[in-house]
Chains A and B, each alone.
Chain A
Amino acid sequence: MKMKWSSSIPVLSVLAALFFCGARGLAQPVAASRAQGFTSVEYYPAPLQQQMKSRLSGASAQPEPGGLLVIQQLKLETFNTNGSPQAVVEAPECVYDTQQFTATSAGHLQLQNGDGKIRTEGDGFLWRQEDSFLTISNHVHTVIETGPEMNTGL
């Protein structure tokens, strides 16, 4: 079976983007107060500057002492240059440490690729941005659907 790797999704990068976005897009606006129903959009560089690269949204982002940012109902969507969905990352809650560049949560984490055929989830996670290290602590479950259009390659 052959994997169409060109269609595989850089979710680790997505996570990086997620928390980079969190640092760049949210730390400033919410530095002084809680942000409600926020959305942060990043676009591709020119000449695709009209094309959305990622959309980070959440129900709220609450700054806490020590450079922490508590984000509720986090959702990150990334898009290909043609606008098709690339990946979706969701976490009901996470804490982003703007000094240590880590994100943690005792809650759920869900990742999936654009068509939803590759999904992983678990409970409790630590993302270390600096060395691109993601640990999912409990109940890890990955589902891979393969069919005529997409095979696992192994």
Chain B
Amino acid sequence: MKTICLIALITVTAGMAARAQSDTNATSQLLRVTDIHSDSAVFDGNGHTVTYFGNVRVSDPDMKLICAVLIADLPPSGGRVNHIVAETNVVMDATDSKGQPVHATSAKAVYDYDVQNSVTNETVTLTGNPQPQVEIAQGTNTADVIVWDRANNGFHFSGNYHFSPNLNAAPANTNSPPKN
């Protein structure tokens, strides 16, 4: 019997959404439900991938992801999923590790997970045309390539970077309400 796991495949497709969750004791004690809807799906047991096609919607308590195609690679013998690709009109609404809202759009989003020398690398890379865009409380960032470093909760921008501040945003690191 082949070792490829469809349930794992299924599970993996929730990866970006699931990863957006804070790994706190509080959240891990709660039952979480991740929903994935699509028009169709292909599970490739030999290629170790699952692909959701058409109106793909991933939803869980901390993140919503919309795209046209979602592809997840699976380790052949199980284990952690380390590569997920969302393509075409990707829209992501999530919260960062501090609970701040993040709204991102791109043509392509790639989730990668890797551990090298006990160091965890976990990123979501936004690329493509139209130019990727990330909106946070302080403003809107655009660049040719935007890397959301989830392990360190930071963004890296490269190529044609532009920032449009949100003039109504509260100053960083305060709890004061936005100006009217």
Contact = CB atoms under 8 A, between A and B. Distances in A.
B43 interface: yes
A16 B21 CA distance: 34
- Using C-beta atoms within 8 Å of the partner chain, give the interface range for chain B: 35 or more
Interface stretch (B5-13, B128-136, B141-149, B163-171): B5-13
Given A11-B5, A147-B30, A140 B41 contact: yes
A102 to B, nearest CB: 14
A8 interface: yes
B46 A132 contact: yes
A151 interface: yes
Contacts, number: 160
Contacts of A11: 5-7, 10
Contacts of A143: 33-36
Given A131-B46, A138-B39, A142-B35, A154 B80 contact: yes
A134 B42 contact: yes
Contacts of B7: 8-11, 87, 111, 113, 118
Given A11-B10, A145-B31, 18 more contacts: A10-B4, A10-B7, A12-B43, A15-B6, A113-B7, A132-B46, A133-B45, A134-B6, A138-B39, A140-B38, A142-B14, A142-B36, A143-B36, A144-B36, A145-B33, A147-B32, A153-B18, A154-B113
Interface of B: 1-16, 18-19, 21, 23, 28-46, 52, 78-81, 84, 111, 113
Interface of A: 1, 3, 5-6, 8-17, 87, 111, 113, 118, 120, 122, 131-148, 151-154
